[in-house]
Amino acid sequence: MKEEFEFMISLQDRQHRRVKYLRVSVTDRCNLRCLYCMPEKMEFLPRSELLNFEEIQQLVEIFVSMGISKVRITGGEPLARRDIVRLVDMLAGIKGLEDLAMTTNGVLLAPLAKELKSAGLTRLNVSCDTFNPEAFAKVTRWGELAPVLAGLQAARDAGFDSIKINAVLLRGVNDLDAGNMIRYCGEQGYLLRFIEFMPIGIDEYWSPERFMKVDEMKLLVENQGFKIEPLANEIPVGGGPAQYCQMTLPEGGAPVVVGFIGALSHNFCRMCNRVRLTSDGRVRECLTAGGQLSLRDMLRSSASRTDIESAIHQALYGKIDGHGFDLADGGLKTRVSMSALGG
């Protein structure tokens, strides 16, 4: 009884992990078809099943009142949601919300960057797996790199000063571009993070042969002549799961800070502080579990705020200990597209 009482007065799970970070997917649609994210002929949710902006605002306000301090807008591709700047403005006005960020593929960013900043967006992550135009087209199935680069420049011009680049390294696809990505991000002042390929999806693209552990990524860049060292003076570069180091380029010059996110090889579940709200209003306590609680259905059936808060508490109390991915098992573990989960 005491454990349940302590849980109810703060948003935490039964492992006493305090949940402070909400990832809100605003759409399952995307203008790209990245190999590791969704199949080329993806079937999307009917728009009537998506949360509308007022519902998103209402639910985010409830989460914030329960202890969430950081919100990240995701997709699909969030900038593909019509009038997304208005939603940013609505969420930025929620009392108690300390940080409002977004993850985007950057294709539609250039014309919206200034408006997003003015509306109250504080930080941007851009998913870009290579700065090689040919490899970019291969990874995304049809994407063009130029609009992404224009979006990054527009974001910097708009005043976003801590832009992170997220890159999933796939063996035999974009892994040999890692060194040039480090160089480019160092030159441009972007914070690069390399991410392990997750066994999640509804097609069969996942394979152990394409998967690279963080240690293999580091060996790859070392073999390209980069020297990897611990960060000087424990430089703080973010509060997420990435482990950072600094790299000296083969040709010399200032070291470049690079992060590595190893959800499989360097499990960080014991420190997990996040919960996801899918575009159709479902709570996912973990990428590999949850989704049974529909807050959309509760809202549309006129459930009371107290009932919604209680349902959220109970869902998070049941959060599993860890994602359960096993590198010894080569199969998919979650047969849902990453775009539907909110990344």
pLDDT per residue as tens digits for the range 7-17: 455 688 777 88
Mean pLDDT of 103-122: 99
Dist. CA 49–CA 46, nearest whole Å: 6
Which is more confident, 264 or 97? 97
Is residue 232 over pLDDT 70?
A: no
pLDDT per residue as tens digits for the range 126-136: 999 999 999 99
* pLDDT at site 317: 84
Tell me the pLDDT band of 337, cut-offs 50, 70 and 90: low
* pLDDT at site 2: 45
Is residue 290 over pLDDT 90?
A: no
* pLDDT at site 209: 87
pLDDT per residue as tens digits for the range 29-60: 999 999 888 888 888 899 999 999 999 999 99
* Residue spans per domain, the chain: 2-341
Tell me the pLDDT band of 329, cut-offs 50, 70 and 90: low
From edge to edge, which strands make up the β-sheet containing 274-277? Answer: 227-229, 243-248, 256-261, 191-195, 164-168, 123-127, 99-104, 70-74, 21-25, 274-277, 282-284, 293-294
pLDDT per residue as tens digits for the range 52-98: 999 999 999 999 999 999 999 999 999 999 999 999 999 999 999 99
* pLDDT at site 80: 98
| Helix (H/G/I), strand (E/B), else coil: 194 | strand
Q: Phi and psi (nearest 5°) for 315?
A: -65, -45
Question: Which of the residue ranges 179-193, 232-246, 309-323 has the most confident prediction, judged by mean pLDDT?
Answer: 179-193
* pLDDT at site 239: 65
- Compute CA distances 46 → 27, 179, 202, 249, 326, whole Å: 10, 41, 18, 48, 34
* pLDDT at site 190: 97
Tell me, which fold does domain 2-341 have in CATH?
TIM Barrel (3.20.20)
pTM of the model: 0.91
Q: Measuring CA to CA, which residue among 183, 262, 164 is closest to residue 217?
A: 262
* pLDDT at site 234: 56
* pLDDT at site 7: 45
Counting residues of the chain whose pLDDT is more than 90, the rounded percentage is 67
Q: Phi and psi (nearest 5°) for 198?
A: -95, 140
H helices of the chain, in order, are 2-8, 53-65, 84-92, 113-119, 133-140, 146-158, 178-188, 214-223, 295-300, 305-317, 338-341
Residue 81 and residue 27 in contact, taking contact as beta carbons nearer than 8 Å: yes
Dist. CA 127–CA 338, nearest whole Å: 13
Quote the DSSP letter at residue 198. P
Is residue 310 over pLDDT 70?
A: yes
